[in-house]
Amino acid sequence: MSTINSLMSARNAIIQSNKALQGIAEGAEAKGNKESEKADFTGAMREAVESVNALQQQASAAATAYEMGETTDIASVMLAKQKASVGFEATMQVRNKLLSAYQDIMNMPV
């Protein structure tokens, strides 16, 4: 039963990370002030990167604990590694989309 609970909590964490990344991708469309949009985007991007970093640190700590014999639950270690991997991949996709949009804007004729 605890495995199901841990899987559900991992699923919820991935969904929350996905929603945060979608918010970054959509930008701050509702705001009219450029300063507040810039601050909101910067804050959202920083928050997403910090979240991915935290997931990677948790995965590393879980793997180290398993390697040292402190835990025998390989499923939780693999789940932590997958969460970190999915978060990193989603962040890379957002970065790629932003870079592509920047390049498209720079290639527009004036």
Its pTM surpasses 0.85 = no
d(CA 39, CA 26): 15
The domains of the chain, with CATH numbers, are 2-106 (1.20.58)
| pLDDT recorded at residue 54 | 94
* Amino acid at the residue 93: Q
d(CA 31, CA 61): 40
Start-to-end C-alpha separation, the chain: 61
Answer whether 74's CB lies under 8 Å from 81's CB: no
pLDDT in tens, 25-56: 666 454 444 555 556 778 888 888 999 999 99
Answer whether 85's CB lies under 8 Å from 63's CB: no
Separation in Å, CA 14 to CA 17, 45, 48, 56, 78: 5, 16, 12, 13, 14
Tokens of 13: 């964490």
pLDDT in tens, 96-107: 999 999 999 999
d(CA 73, CA 63): 10
| pLDDT recorded at residue 37 | 52
